[in-house]
Structure 1
Amino acid sequence: MAQQKTSMPVIKQVNIKADTTSIVSFGAKGDGVSMNTESINKAIAAVSQKGGGVVLIPGGLWLTGPIELKSNVNLHLKRDALLQFTDDFNQYKLVEGNWEGQPAWRNQSPISGTDLQNIAITGSGIIDGNGGAWRMVKRDKLTESQWKKLTTSGGLVSEDGKMWYPSEKTFKGSKTKNAGVVAAGQSAADLQSIKDFLRPNLLVLTNCKQILLEGVTFQNSPAWNLHPLLCEDLTLRNLQVKNPWFAQNGDGVDVESCKNVLIEGSTFDVGDDGICIKSGRDEAGRKRGKPTENVIIRNNVVYHAHGGFVVGSEMSGGAKNIWVYDCSFIGTDIGIRFKTTRGRGGVVEDIYINNINMIDIPGEAILFDMYYAAVDPIVLAGEKREAIKTVVVPVTEATPQFKNIYIKDVVANGAEKAIFVRGLPEMNIKDIYLENVTIQAKKGVEIIEGTGIYLKNVNVITDDTNPVVKIQNGNNINFNGFKYKDGSALLFDITGEKTKAVKVSGTNVSQAKKQSNIGTEVAKKALEISK
C-alpha cells in the first residue's frame, strides 16, 4: 500500500460564550400552532450583537419559518425540543443560491448563514424540514397503500401515473429545462410559476468559518439535509441525519468546496447519497476552482443511501486529501462510490479509505464510474436503461480525473458486484490501490479503461464465477495474493485491444476450471502469471 502524501488536517473548533438566552424571552411559544420565525431570529440577532452566546430552544413543538444564523451564536436544542419548519411555502422567499454545483434560484433554506464565523447548532433535539410538503415521489418507491394515501392527500399525478407532484407549480417546474438556473436579467418574479419546484436544502452555510454541528437530529429535508458550501473548519459530530428512503435528492451531507472538515460519530439514513464530497458542476465549478480538501470522515454509520461514502458527481473543482476510516455501511445502494461524467473536469486525488465494514449492498461494494447518468444506482422493476456506447473524445479542461486512491482493510458481506472500475477511453481511472479486501458478492471484479490498478490480498467470494474477473482495455492491472472461490468456472476474461500488462502473482490460478479467456484482439503476452 502506497504511503499517504500529506498529513491529516487539524480542524479549528468553535469558541462560543456560555451565556444563554431562551427564545421564550423573545415571545416564542412551543405550542405547535404559533409561528415563531420572528422570535427565533430576533433572539439570534440580539445574542450575536452583544458578542455571542447560546440561544436556547427548550422543550416544545416550535413551528417556524426560515431561520438565519449569526456569528458567535450556538443554537442549542433541548432533548425534548422539536423545531419544525412550516409547510406554508409563502414563508420562503426565492433567493439566489446554489443547486447541484451551479448558481441557481431556490426557496430560502429553513436554516441558513452566509459569511459567518464561530457558529454552532448543538443539543439533542430534532430539526424537521417538513420535506414531505415539497418533494415529488416516484410511484415505484411506495407500496399500494402508501401511494393511495399520498395521491388522495392532494397534488397531482403525472399522465403515465409514475410520479406524484405536491402542486401545479412543482409539476410545471419539473417540465422546465434548467429550472431555477440563474440567467442574466432574471428576477424572482419571473420564477413564481415554478416556485414550489425549487426545493431548498434544509441547512445551507455559505462561506462560513469555524462551524460545529453536534448531537442534533436533522430530518425530513425538502432536498439535501446539510449543505456546507465554501466553508472552512467545519465539524459534524454525533449527528442523526434522516430522510425517508424514497426522498428525491434527500442526501445526508454534501460537503462542497470546503476546507478542513471533520465528520465523526454520526449516523445517516437518507434518500440519496449519505456522506458526499462535491466541488461544483461543469464550467461553473471549474471557474470557482475551489476543491474540497483536508477532510476526515471517521466512526460513522450509513444505513439507507445511494452511497455510503461518495465523491461526485459534481466535483469540477476537485477533491483531495480526504481520509475515511472506521465506518460501517448497512444497506446502502453502493458502498464506496466515486462518480463523474464528461463535462465535469476536476481532479479527485489522494483519497485514503480504510477499516470499512459493509453488509447488504444492493449494487457495487466499491465503484468508480466516469459515466454517471444522474439516475438511481439500482434499476427499478420494469425500468430499461441503454448500454453505454464507448466513443473517444479529445481531452480538455472538461475531462474529469480520478487518481491516487487508496482503499485498505475492507470487508463486505453481500453485494451485487464486488469491485467495478469504469474510466473513459481518453482518461482512464489511474493508480487505484486495494489491499486486504474481502467481499462476498454475486459478481466479482470488472475493470474497464483502468490504468495502474493494484489488488493486493483481495478475496472475492462470488456466486457468478464465469468470470471472476473481467478486464476490458486495462493497462498495468496487478493481482498479488488474489483469492477467489475454489472451482470457479473462469478466472480471467480479458478483452480490448488496449489491454496489456495484466500481472498476476502469489495467486493459485489452478483453483479455477479455466484460467483465462483472452480476446483475439488482445496481445498474446497481455496476461503475465508468476508464482
Structure 2
Amino acid sequence: MQRLVFSILLCFVVTVPFLNSLALAEVVTCSGMVPMKYRNDKISVTDFGAVGDGRTLNTKAFQEAIYRIEHLRRSGGTLLYIPPGVYLTESFNLTSHMTLYLARGAVIRATKDTKNWPLIAPLPSYGRGRERPGGRYMSFIHGDGLHDVIITGENGTIDGQGEVWWNMWRQRTLQFTRPNLIELMNSRSIIISNVIFKNSPFWNIHPVYCSNVVIRYVTILAPPDSPNTDGIDPDSSTHVCIEDSYISTGDDLVAVKSGWDEYGIAYGRPSHGITIRRITGSSPFAGIAVGSETSGGVQDVLAEHISLFNMGVGIHLKTNIGRGGFIRNITVSNVYMENVRKGIKIAGDVGDHPDDKFNPNALPVVKGVTIKNVWGEKVQQPGSIQGLKNSPFTGICLSNINLHGATRPKTAAAPWKCSDVSGTALLVSPWPCSELANTHTTGECSNTF
C-alpha cells in the first residue's frame, strides 16, 4: 500500500507540472525526529498463550506480555512480536520502551463485545466526552505517560471492528463517547509506521498532550459513511510529523485540535510545530483541517504535497464563537484536489459546544494563514472565508491557486464567498473576493514565492 501511495504521488508530479515544487529530487522527511530503536529483547504474544484463529479472546496474553515488558525492564526495551494470524482482544494498554511489531498477515482485532469496555475520565481540555457527557470508553490500544514507544511492522492490521459502535451512534444508544482506535496521552518519543488501521469506532490515531510524535507510512481505512472516523488528530500536542500515508475515512483525514471551549481555554495547551506532508486520501469531509476544537490555540502548522480525491472540503480551517484560542501561522501548499464540493473553507461558525457554560465573548483569533500552489479539477465551489464580525480573520494569503469547475474541463467554478476578512491574493482563479486585495510584491503574500 505504501508503494501505491508513492506511485500516486509520483504520477501526480508528472501529470501536474503546475506544482513543480513537488519534484522528488530532494524529499524532506521527519525520519530523524524520533530515532527508530532496535530492541535486542524480543518476545512473541504467542509465548503468553495467544492464538491467532480470529475466535480465541487474547486479552490476557496481551496484558501478560506487556506486564513482562514493563516490569522486567530489559536494557533498550522490548519488542512484542505479533505473528501472522488474527488475534481477537479487548482493549489494552501499552508501556514505555516497547515496540509493538505486526508481522505481514498479522491482525490485532477488537472484540465486538462493548458491554465490558473500560471507561476512563474525560480529557481535561474537553471537560466531558466528545459525544456524550461524563467519561469515555478507553481507546482500543491505549497509553498514558509513556515514552519511547514504537508501533510498526510489515503492514499488519489493527482492526477496530467499528460497525457495532457506528450503529450505536446512529441509533442514539451510546452511553459514553466511542473509543478511539489508538490514543496516546501525555507521551513523548512515539513512532507509528508501516501499519494498516481499519474500521475505527471513532477517531483513528489520537496523540493528545504529546510531544515528538512521528506517524508515517500508515494506511487508514474506514467506509465513507462511518461517523467521526477522523484519520489522525494531533491534539494539544507539539512537534508532530505526519507523512507519506494514505487515508480514506468517513471524516477529516488530518485534523489539528487543542481543546473545547471553556475547558480548552482553561487547560491552555496549544498544538504547535505540526508538519503534514505527502498525504493522499478521500473523505466526504475535509482533507487537511484545523479545528474545530482550537480553544488552546493552534500555530506553526505546515501541510504540503497533499493529493485529495472525492472530498467534501479540500482545506478547512474551522472555529466558532465561544472557542477563544487562536489559529495562526498556518501554511498549506502544493495541493492537488479532484472532485471536491468546496476547495478552501475558513469559517468562524463551525462546531458545537460541550454545554451552555461557554463564554460567547470568547472569540477566536485567526491570523496569518497562507494557502498557495493549489490546483483543483471538478471543484463545485472554490471557497469561502467567513470570519466573525467582532473578530475578523486577518493576514489571509491566497496565491497561485486554480480551482476549475465541475461542469466542463477548465470552466470557472461558482464564486467565492467572503466576509469579515482581510488579506491579499495573487494569481487566484476564479478571483476570490474584494476583501482580499490584489498584490504582486507587498502584503501578506510577499514571501510566498
Query: Partners of 2:387 and 2:241 in 1: how far apart?
Result: 30
Q: Tell whether the 8 Å contact from 1:58 to 1:77 is kept in structure 2 after alignment.
A: yes
Partner of 2:350: 372
Q: Tell whether the 8 Å contact from 1:120 to 1:212 is kept in structure 2 after alignment.
A: yes
Which of these residues, 184, 189, 193, is aligned with residue 214 of structure 1? 193
The secondary structure found in structure 2 opposite 1:316 is: coil
Matched, 1:457 2:416: no
What are the within-5 Å matches in structure 2 for residues 395-474 of structure 1? 396=361, 398-441=362-405, 442-451=413-422, 453-460=423-430, 471=434, 474=435
Partner of 2:215: 236
The structural deviation recorded for 1:329 is 1.1
**Against the structure 1 CA distance between its residues 103 and 34, is the aligned structure 2 distance closer, same or farther, given a 3 Å change threshold?**
same
The structural deviation recorded for 1:253 is 1.1
The secondary structure found in structure 1 opposite 2:166 is: coil
Query: Partners of 1:423 and 1:218 in 2: how far apart?
Result: 36
Query: Partners of 2:34 and 2:97 in 1: how far apart?
Result: 14
Q: Tell whether the 8 Å contact from 2:125 to 2:266 is kept in structure 1 after alignment.
A: no
The secondary structure found in structure 1 opposite 2:311 is: coil
Partner of 1:73: 98
Partner of 2:245: 266
Q: Tell whether the 8 Å contact from 1:341 to 1:371 is kept in structure 2 after alignment.
A: yes
What are the within-5 Å matches in structure 2 for residues 60-459 of structure 1? 60-98=85-123, 101-104=126-129, 105-123=135-153, 124-136=155-167, 164-165=170-171, 170-171=172-173, 173=174, 194=175, 197-362=176-341, 364-374=342-352, 396=361, 398-441=362-405, 442-451=413-422, 453-459=423-429
Partner of 2:13: none
Give me the identity figure in percent.
Answer: 30
Q: Tell whether the 8 Å contact from 1:66 to 1:91 is kept in structure 2 after alignment.
A: no
The structural deviation recorded for 1:419 is 2.2
CA offsets 1:487-508 (integer angstroms, 9 cap, x no match): xxxxxxxxxxxxxxxxxxxxxx
Paired residues, number: 390
**Against the structure 1 CA distance between its residues 99 and 37, is the aligned structure 2 distance closer, same or farther, given a 3 Å change threshold?**
farther
CA offsets 1:374-419 (integer angstroms, 9 cap, x no match): 59xxxxxxxxxxxxxxxxxx984x1011110111111111212112
Query: Partners of 1:332 and 1:424 in 2: how far apart?
Result: 26
The structural deviation recorded for 1:275 is 0.4
The secondary structure found in structure 2 opposite 1:89 is: coil
Q: Tell whether the 8 Å contact from 1:14 to 1:118 is kept in structure 2 after alignment.
A: no
Look at both structures and tell me which one has the larger radius of gyration over its CA atoms: 1
Letter matched to residue 409 of structure 1 = N
**Against the structure 1 CA distance between its residues 102 and 416, is the aligned structure 2 distance closer, same or farther, given a 3 Å change threshold?**
farther
Q: Which runs of 5+ in 2 are unaligned?
A: 1-28, 130-134, 354-358, 406-412, 441-449
**Against the structure 1 CA distance between its residues 444 and 99, is the aligned structure 2 distance closer, same or farther, given a 3 Å change threshold?**
farther
**Against the structure 1 CA distance between its residues 226 and 478, is the aligned structure 2 distance closer, same or farther, given a 3 Å change threshold?**
same
Partner of 1:31: 53
Query: Partners of 1:283 and 1:227 in 2: how far apart?
Result: 21
The secondary structure found in structure 1 opposite 2:263 is: helix
Query: Partners of 1:298 and 1:322 in 2: how far apart?
Result: 11
Q: Tell whether the 8 Å contact from 1:37 to 1:66 is kept in structure 2 after alignment.
A: yes
The alignment yields a C-alpha RMSD, in angstroms, of 2.1
The structural deviation recorded for 1:366 is 0.8
The structural deviation recorded for 1:359 is 0.5
The secondary structure found in structure 2 opposite 1:90 is: coil
The secondary structure found in structure 1 opposite 2:398 is: strand
Query: Partners of 2:281 and 2:365 in 1: how far apart?
Result: 26
Q: Which runs of 5+ in 1 are unaligned?
A: 1-7, 137-154, 156-162, 174-193, 376-393, 461-467, 482-531
**Against the structure 1 CA distance between its residues 99 and 238, is the aligned structure 2 distance closer, same or farther, given a 3 Å change threshold?**
farther
Query: Partners of 2:112 and 2:388 in 1: how far apart?
Result: 44
The structural deviation recorded for 1:132 is 0.3
Which of these residues, 57, 63, 84, is aligned with residue 59 of structure 1? 84
Query: Partners of 2:125 and 2:309 in 1: how far apart?
Result: 26
The secondary structure found in structure 1 opposite 2:143 is: strand
